[in-house]
Amino acid sequence: MGLKNRDPFEIFNSWLEKASRREINNPNAMTLATVGNDGRPSARMVLLKDFCPDGFTFYTNLESPKSLQMAENPNAALLFHWKTLNRQIRIEGPVEQVSDVEADAYFATRPRASQLGAWASSQSQPLEGWAELEKRVAMYTAKFHLGPVPRPAFWSGFRLRAERFEFWKEGNFRLHKRFIFTPSESDAQKWHVQQVFP
Ligand SMILES: Cc1cc2nc3c(=O)[nH]c(=O)nc-3n(C[C@H](O)[C@H](O)[C@H](O)COP(=O)(O)O)c2cc1C
């Protein structure tokens, strides 16, 4: 069946599965693009942790530049590019923070060292030297000792609700296949599909 007649989440799932078999690491890595009040776009990689029809979820520090930008302007974009497949997927829409219950549940599944790292890192703030970070890791390691490491209030997830997908497949001589999915105007449960020139 061609892309045109498929559900975008099902296409996404099948491409991600294919990438998982081929990519040497992090098939779930995606670029997250955000724009704050200053109107200047900013992009960086994050890892997709979950997806469902409600959206695409990733986790980060809530005091980081990306999170501050999303607080100012919730509209964001995700980009997957899998070199081994010669394919890309663009996903755009508004983000919202996941619930504390959901963030707690995911944080609890992370390795202890990553949990301590989340506490220790004031993400994107100036670091005087590596020793400063090591000191903070040691401090939180001692603080939580042998007990569970709770999720820091400044660390959580965001879910991007897809309002637009674009699936791009490399073709010969740059005649690539591109299909854009947007919610159907007549039925919000359905998607309108438009093929576009490469
Ligand atoms: C493959 C890859 C995956 C990453 N995953 C995450 C992630 O899931 N969450 C995160 O906060 N940063 C992640 N990072 C680091 C971010 O790219 C970035 O350096 C950091 O979040 C700070 O971004 P900001 O200053 O724009 O907020 C990842 C980097 C790479 C290269």
pLDDT digits (tens, 9 = 90+) for 52-82: 999 999 999 999 999 999 999 999 999 999 9
Res. 1 pLDDT band, cuts 50 70 90: low
Instruction: State whether residue 31 is helix, strand or coil.
Output: strand
pLDDT one-digit tens code per residue, 148-196: 999 999 999 999 999 999 999 999 989 999 999 999 988 878 999 999 9
- Whether 174 sits among the annotated catalytic residues: the reply is yes
- Centre of ligand 1 to C-alpha 29, Å, is 9
Question: How far is residue 190's CA from residue 184's CA, in Å, rounded to a whole number?
Answer: 5
Whether ligand 1 lies within 6 angstroms of the CB of 45 is answered as yes
**Closest to 91 (Cα-Cα) out of 56, 129, 126, 39:** 56
Nearest to 119, CA basis, from 92, 140, 135, 146: 140
Phi-psi region of 64 (alpha: psi -120 to 50; beta: other; left: phi over 0): beta
Walk me through the domains of the chain, giving residue ranges and CATH numbers. Answer: 3-107+154-195 (2.30.110.10)
Pairing of strands 177-183, 55-61: unpaired
Choose the catalytic residue: 6, 40, 112, 174. Answer: 174
Task: Pick the closest to residue 170 from 77, 91, 79, 82 (CA basis).
Answer: 82
Q: What is the CA radius of gyration of the chain?
A: 19
104 pLDDT exceeds 70? yes
CA distance 44 to 114: 20
182 CB under 6 A from ligand 1? Answer: no
